[in-house]
């Protein structure tokens, strides 16, 4: 059996079961020592993640986090569960949504911004959504989710042209998502479904990946994939497939990405904090998971001028993803334009730690302060 996956009531399909299990665990487990750490960018299975909102908060709680923030792609369907889980565990929460915006009508048109797969499209985050506006945000993203699914089907078709697996969008991809509960379906869902399909139809997945798909696999990952009891098997194979197949199957996103001006106006309407997600040029990747590629660093002054003109409130970045030199430049520009600095480690894999050790550097202490400001803003305490 691949994966070693057993029953986990925190990830149960029924919300009441998840909440009851979380309450039981908190009552029966010695409270972990709080480290004071924060994380504002935790994905759940309402976009792509091995964790339900309850499981994500439990992982944050057991890691000693003081605060935790949900950040799903194009979906806020896990937010109320996340809030409730925070109340059960005593972990302060903040809620948000990550999405892509079209910058074609700005001076950044035609540039590779922070999206590895497509020019003129950038990832942004909306933080600290006031709770009374969660449903309004959900309604805003519904039509974009429908359009995204049209493109998703085209990418599945491209996979079937490349690999004779007959992957079905309805039968294979949708079931590994929470689409019918308001979740989004991403490229990771498609490749996760492909990983499951390949495992079922292949005796030696490592040999198949190397010979049939032309994928180079390093020694550590190969050892993971040769261990059929590896509890993270599907996610490890997903990472291998993603490194090679995305550029072969990717279909440009157009209608599913709102114009950035419209999105910023909506953020202001619902009282959310709009943040640009800094990626930064990748050379020798600090995290070891990205190929060499240039993004915003060559034109940061222009980028920040445009972000200020568009009405952004903040810039979000991940200290473990970039060099200190890159991040110091970002901090200087944030000060110049009076942008709030927000941080969080992008959690969507079971091998990732919830704690960001880089935040222990006093240089980044303001990122902890800003998290509490987000929480106060979200609660209507007007900290921002």
Is the pLDDT assigned to residue 44 strictly greater than 60? yes
- Identify whether residues 140 and 194 lie together within a single domain: no
Same domain, 262 and 114: yes
Which structure tokens are listed for 157?
């078709």
Q: pLDDT value at position 26?
A: 97
Residues 132-146: tens digit of each pLDDT: 999 999 999 999 999
Maximum average pLDDT range among 5-14, 193-202, 266-275: 266-275
**Non-local CB neighbours of 14 within 8 Å, separated by 6+ positions:** none
Q: What share of the chain has pLDDT > 70, as a percent?
A: 95
Q: How confident is the model at residue 76 (pLDDT cuts 50, 70, 90)?
A: very high
Q: Does pLDDT of 285 surpass 90?
A: no
pLDDT for residue 7: 56
Token pair recorded at residue 86: 């925070």
In sequence order, which residues have a C-beta less than 8 Å from that of residue 44 and are 6 or more positions away?
A: 51, 52, 53, 55, 56, 70, 72, 78, 82
* 188-226 core/surface letters (b: 16 or more CB in 10 A; e: else): bbbbbbbbbbbbeeeeebbebbeeebebebeeebbebbe
122 and 235 housed in the same domain: no
Q: How far is the C-alpha of 37 from the C-alpha of 61, rounded, in Å?
A: 10
Is 93 contained in some domain?
yes
Tens-digit pLDDT profile for residues 288-328 = 445 678 899 999 999 999 999 999 999 999 998 889 999 99
pLDDT value, residue 2:
39
pLDDT tens column, 15-41: 999 999 999 999 999 999 998 999 999
pLDDT of amino acid 153: 98
Q: Give the closest residue to 320 by CA, choosing from 36, 34, 37, 35.
A: 37
Could you tell me if 282 and 141 lie in one domain? Answer: yes
Q: Which two tokens stand for residue 371?
A: 């998290």
Q: What is the CATH number of the domain that holds 78?
A: 3.20.20.140
Is residue 3 one of the residues assigned to a domain? no
**pLDDT for residue 228:** 82
Q: Residue 6 pLDDT more than 80?
A: no
274 and 345 both lie in a single domain = yes
Task: Tell me the CA distances in angstroms from 220 to 3, 207, 288, 321, 336, one per residue in order.
Answer: 17, 15, 13, 21, 43
23 domain-assigned: no
Which of 232, 249, 266 is the last residue in one of the domains? Answer: 249
Q: Calculate the average pLDDT of the chain.
A: 93
Please state the φ and ψ torsions of residue 56, each to the nearest 5 degrees: -60, -45
Could you tell me which residues come within 8 angstroms of residue 330 by beta carbon, excluding any fewer than 6 positions away? 278, 280, 300, 315, 317, 322, 341
d(CA 126, CA 314) in angstroms, rounded, equals 10
Range of the domain at 205: 159-249
Q: What global pTM score does this model have? A: 0.94
What confidence tier does 384 reach under pLDDT thresholds 50, 70, 90? low
For the ranges 73-77, 161-165, 175-179, 211-215, the lowest mean pLDDT is seen at: 211-215
Same domain, 119 and 57: yes
**Rounded-to-integer distance, Cα 123 and Cα 312, Å:** 13
Q: What is the per-residue pLDDT across 90-122, written as a single tens digit (0 to 9) for each?
A: 999 999 999 999 999 999 999 999 999 999 999
Task: Say yes or no: 237 and 165 in one domain.
Answer: yes
51-63 pLDDT, tens digit each = 999 999 999 999 9
Has residue 22 been placed in a domain? no
Whether residue 138 sits in one domain with residue 175: no
**Which of these three, 195, 216, 249, is where a domain ends?**
249
Instruction: For residues 129 and 180, state if they share a domain.
Output: no
Tell whether 182 and 40 lie within a shared domain.
Answer: no
Phi, psi (5° rounding) for residue 32? -70, 160
**Nearest 5°: phi and psi at 133?**
-110, 10
The answer to whether position 17 is within a domain reads: no
- Domain termination residue (choose one: 189, 218, 249): 249
- Determine what percent of the chain is predicted with pLDDT higher than 90: 81
Element (H, E) at 277: strand 273-277
Other CB atoms within 10 A of residue 13 CB: 9
- The residue among 111 and 209 whose pLDDT is bigger is 111
Among 1-15, 230-244, 367-381, where is mean pLDDT lowest?
1-15
286 pLDDT above the threshold of 80: no
Q: Of the candidates 75, 69, 123, which has an alpha carbon nearest to the alpha carbon of residue 94?
A: 69
Instruction: Tell me if 344 is assigned to some domain.
Output: yes
Number of domains in the chain: 2
Q: Which residue has the higher pLDDT, 284 or 283?
A: 283
What's residue 284's pLDDT?
A: 53
Does 119 fall in a domain? Answer: yes
Q: What is the pLDDT of residue 218?
A: 83
Are 94 and 67 in contact, with CB atoms under 8 Å apart? yes
Residues 76 and 97 in one domain: yes
Are 265 and 350 contained in the same domain? Answer: yes
Residue 275 lies in a domain: yes
If you ran DSSP here, which 8-state letter would residue 135 be given?
H
- Split at pLDDT 50, 70, 90, the class of 213 is confident
pLDDT band per the 50, 70, 90 thresholds, residue 283: low
- 131 pLDDT exceeds 80? yes
Confidence at residue 219, expressed as pLDDT on a 0 to 100 scale: 86
Reply yes or no on whether the pLDDT at 367 is more than 60: yes
């Amino acid at each position: 059996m691949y994966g070693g996956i057993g029953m986990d009531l925190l990830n149960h399909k029924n919300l009441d079961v998840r909440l009851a299990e979380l309450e039981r665990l908190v009552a029966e487990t010695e409270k972990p020592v709080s480290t004071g750490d924060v994380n504002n960018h935790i994905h759940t299975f309402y976009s792509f993640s091995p964790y339900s909102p309850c499981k994500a908060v439990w992982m944050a709680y057991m890691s000693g986090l003081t605060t935790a923030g949900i950040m799903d792609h194009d979906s806020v369907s896990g937010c109320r569960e996340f809030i409730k889980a925070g109340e059960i565990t005593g972990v302060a929460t903040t809620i948000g949504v990550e999405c892509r915006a079209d910058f074609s009508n700005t001076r950044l048109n035609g540039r590779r911004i922070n999206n590895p797969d497509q020019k003129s499209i950038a990832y942004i985050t909306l933080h600290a959504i006031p709770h009374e506006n969660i449903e309004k945000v959900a309604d805003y993203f519904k039509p974009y989710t429908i359009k995204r699914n049209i493109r998703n089907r085209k990418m599945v078709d491209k996979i079937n042209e490349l690999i004779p697996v007959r992957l079905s969008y309805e039968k294979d991809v949708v079931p590994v998502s929470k689409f019918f509960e308001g979740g989004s379906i991403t490229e990771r869902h498609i490749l996760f479904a492909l990983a499951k399909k390949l495992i079922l139809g292949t005796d030696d997945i490592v040999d198949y990946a190397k010979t049939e798909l032309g994928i180079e696999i390093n020694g550590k990952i190969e050892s993971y994939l040769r261990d059929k009891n590896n509890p993270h098997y599907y996610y490890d194979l997903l990472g291998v497939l993603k490194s090679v197949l995305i550029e072969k199957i990717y279909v440009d996103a157009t209608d599913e990405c709102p114009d950035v001006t419209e999105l910023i106006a909506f953020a202001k309407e619902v009282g959310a904090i709009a943040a640009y997600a800094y990626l930064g040029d990748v050379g020798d990747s600090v995290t070891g998971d990205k190929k060499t590629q240039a993004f915003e660093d060559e034109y940061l002054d222009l980028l920040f001028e445009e972000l200020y003109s568009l009405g952004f409130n903040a810039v979000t970045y991940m200290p473990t993803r970039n060099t200190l030199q890159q991040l110091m430049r970002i901090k200087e520009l944030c000060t110049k334009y009076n942008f709030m600095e927000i941080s969080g480690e992008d959690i969507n894999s079971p091998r990732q730690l919830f704690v960001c050790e880089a935040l222990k550097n006093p240089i980044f202490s303001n990122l902890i302060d800003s998290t509490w400001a987000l929480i106060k803003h979200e609660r209507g305490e007007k900290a921002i």
